[in-house]
Amino acid sequence: MTSPARHTLPGPDYYDDAVYQVERERIFNRSWFYAGRADRLSAAGQWITVDVAGESVFVMRGDDGGLRGFYNVCRHRGSQLCDGASGQTKGVIMCPYHAWCYDLTGKLVATPRVEPDEVDRDALSLWPVHVDQWQGFVFVNLDRQTPTPLRESLGNQYDEPLSFERFDLAALSVGHMTESTIAANWKIAIENYSECLHCPTVHPELIEAVPAYRTGWVFDENRTDGGVALATGGNSYSADSSRRLTPLPSMTEEEASSVYGASIFPNMFLDIAGGSAVATCLIPEGPTQTRVVTEYLFLPDDIARDDFDPSPVVDFCELVAGQDYTVCERVQRGVKSRAFTHGVYPAKDEYVYQFNQRYLASRDR
């Protein structure tokens, strides 16, 4: 007997601006949004920016070693403070417009050409945002209320990222970064990541490296740890699957020769293989465009070696990602058709269905 069909989201959910505005307020402004790795903020005054669906914020390392997040907006006349993806300041953040200065705690400390009694500096600190980190991954949350703690939120993810704590991912550092833009809705990118029915058609190189993906499942039904074996017993997520990196010290031999993955709602993918990990940050830039920032993580001792070469991992992952971007853009064009009211989910789309349920629960709350 045929099981009742499970429907996808309707077409307008992937391109309608009114839907996107609801998502901005109810999902991106109230969820833990992945911003970047903490090792990119190793020194006092270092900062990174992240665009939370159109809201620019920055995270900065303080003199006390702590991380703080702020809206990227001067309290004087609203000028943006930090330009670019990252940088470092010595002592203060200075507004490029009128040179108002804020210390590394966000306190307003200087207002050139404005007398001290004209403004209340103590009342004009930078607007803060919530910041927390897990395993070296930094998240921000723009909720005006006290949000659910980050780790508790991660514990409620259907892909169970907390199971990766056994790998001590905090020990990894960024060895390379890339950035791409997809002409597709952010949900299409997540749905594509969450299934492998497309892998035999779209990813010939990937199914050579991870043979189990030929089946259309994103996991190995014969394993309980979430891992999928790499071909020939290698531990490198690359076209040469026999290539070996230094595995994470906590891994068993089987774990070191496997690949693990998780989608972390609402904007992160995390993939782990042997001695490397890939953290992907999705940054929605409207209902039909998504920027993708990818951090390639390796053990610091490997990065410090004179012969360190991340290109086999980077080139392979970028190849696979490029193939994904092409089909995501194809879907984006298709769902705008008047004929597409909704699609359907067969059994191997289970994780796509789970994502949609999480999405609807967050959007419609």
Q: Is the dihedral of CA 120, 121, 123, 127 positive or negative?
A: positive
C-alpha distances in Å from residue 120, one per residue of 22, 50, 91, 110, 111: 35, 29, 21, 11, 11
Please state, in angstroms and rounded to a whole number, the distance separating the CA atoms of residues 47 and 36: 11
Roughly how many angstroms between the first and final C-alpha of the chain, as a whole number? 35
**Domain 1-31+160-365: what homologous superfamily?**
Naphthalene 1,2-dioxygenase Alpha Subunit; Chain A, domain 1 (3.90.380.10)
Q: What is the pLDDT of residues 186-243, one digit of tens each?
A: 999 999 999 999 999 999 999 999 999 999 988 888 888 989 999 876 777 888 755 6
Please state, in angstroms and rounded to a whole number, the distance separating the CA atoms of residues 159 and 187: 16
Q: What is the pLDDT of residues 155-202, one digit of tens each?
A: 999 999 999 999 999 999 999 999 999 999 999 999 999 999 999 999
**Do the Cβ atoms of 140 and 59 come closer than 8 Å?**
yes
Please state, in angstroms and rounded to a whole number, the distance separating the CA atoms of residues 155 and 215: 28
H-run or E-run covering 130? strand 128-134
Please state, in angstroms and rounded to a whole number, the distance separating the CA atoms of residues 93 and 57: 13
Fold of 33-146: Rieske Iron-sulfur Protein (2.102.10)
Non-local CB neighbours of 147 within 8 Å, separated by 6+ positions: 30, 32, 130, 141, 153
Average pLDDT of span 66-79: 98
Mean residue pLDDT of the chain comes to 95
C-alpha distances in Å from residue 146, one per residue of 18, 119, 141, 179: 27, 29, 9, 32
30: closest CA among 175, 180, 130, 158? 130
pLDDT of residue 242: 59
**Do the Cβ atoms of 128 and 236 come closer than 8 Å?**
no
Q: What is the pLDDT of residues 303-346, one digit of tens each?
A: 999 999 999 999 999 999 999 999 999 999 999 999 999 999 99
Band of the pLDDT at 135, cuts 50, 70, 90?
very high
pLDDT of residue 36: 98
pLDDT of residue 1: 45
pLDDT of residue 145: 93
Listed range (16-25, 151-160, 246-255) with the worst mean pLDDT? 246-255
**Do the Cβ atoms of 141 and 33 come closer than 8 Å?**
yes
Average pLDDT of span 254-283: 95
Place of tokens 């897990």: 134
pLDDT of residue 347: 93
Please state, in angstroms and rounded to a whole number, the distance separating the CA atoms of residues 58 and 81: 9
Per DSSP, 291 falls in state E
**What is the domain partition of the chain in residue ranges?**
1-31+160-365, 33-146
359: closest CA among 194, 226, 139? 194
C-alpha distances in Å from residue 73, one per residue of 86, 175, 280: 16, 30, 26
Please state, in angstroms and rounded to a whole number, the distance separating the CA atoms of residues 31 and 29: 6
Per DSSP, 252 falls in state -
H-run or E-run covering 304? helix 300-304
130: closest CA among 32, 42, 52, 27? 32
pLDDT at residue 2 greater than cutoff 80: no
- Say what the pTM is: 0.96
3-state secondary structure at position 121:
helix
Q: Is the dihedral of CA 63, 65, 69, 72 positive or negative?
A: positive
